[in-house]
Amino acid sequence: MPDPIVDISTIKPCLLVVMGVSGCGKSKLAKGLREKLSWPFQEGDDLHSEHNIEKMSRGVPLTDEDRIPWLEKCHDWLVKSEQNHHGSGILTCSALKKRYRDILRKNIQNPFYFIYIHVPEDILLKRLLKRKGHFMPASLLSSQIETLEPLQPNEPFIEIKVEEEPFEEVLQKTLYQLQQRSLKAGS
């Protein structure tokens, strides 16, 4: 199937949280979106406290108590991006539970979407075992999958199913979905 045609100029400013479990490709997709859209970008992992990073590095899953201050920092970045960049911005964040996602989007006025990257568990594990230089070990994948709560119909999201297709195809699918949402909002 040929890639869908995307006219970047039709994509209206919005806030995006590229989400999913570790190894799904959040950072790569978010950076690709930043390159195509020229919107501000924040790697959510960079907002973790030293305590959280140290804990995950030891293979210990984070608790809600660990995550809430981090999610508040992520939310603060989204609010600043909304105010300072014409309502556009791209953040990576696992956003595994609905209550976490509610924190991220509270009081946001501009269009907002979670970009949920859904990757089969066997592919995720292969990716994590190959990954170098990241504090999140493959041993925490199962706890993330167990924690992940399905997105609800009242949550604004775009689900991108990924298996082994080339990255450029995944990026194009995402841009196409954003374009469709923008066109729908404009009609």
- Is 186 among the domain residues? no
pLDDT digits (tens, 9 = 90+) for 1-15: 455 688 999 999 999
Per DSSP, which regions of 44-139 are E strands? 89-92, 112-118
- Is 1 among the domain residues? no
From residue 134, alpha-carbon distances to 27, 75, 77, 101, 139 in Å are 12, 23, 22, 24, 13
From residue 56, alpha-carbon distances to 37, 64, 112 in Å are 32, 13, 29
From residue 175, alpha-carbon distances to 44, 139, 172 in Å are 21, 32, 5
- Is 64 among the domain residues? yes
d(CA 37, CA 65) in angstroms, rounded, equals 35
CATH number at residue 101: 3.40.50.300
Name the CA radius of gyration of the chain, rounded.
Answer: 16
pLDDT digits (tens, 9 = 90+) for 115-161: 999 998 888 878 777 756 555 555 667 778 888 999 999 999 999 99
The predicted structure's pLDDT at residue 83: 93
d(CA 120, CA 124) in angstroms, rounded, equals 6
159 or 62, which is more confident? 159
Per DSSP, which regions of 57-183 are E strands? 89-92, 112-118, 157-161
The domain of 46 spans 8-181
Per DSSP, which regions of 59-98 are E strands? 89-92
What pTM did the predictor assign? Answer: 0.90
- Is 2 among the domain residues? no
Extract the tokens encoding 116.
Answer: 């949920």
The predicted structure's pLDDT at residue 73: 97
Average pLDDT over residues 34-55: 94
pLDDT digits (tens, 9 = 90+) for 70-113: 999 999 999 999 999 889 999 999 999 999 999 999 999 999 99
Mean pLDDT of the chain: 89
Q: Measured at the alpha carbon of residue 31, what is the angle toward residues 44 and 162, in degrees to the nearest 5? A: 90
Domain count, the chain: 1
Q: Residue 187 — very low, low, confident or very high, per pLDDT cuts 50/70/90?
A: low
Residue with tokens 């992940």: 148
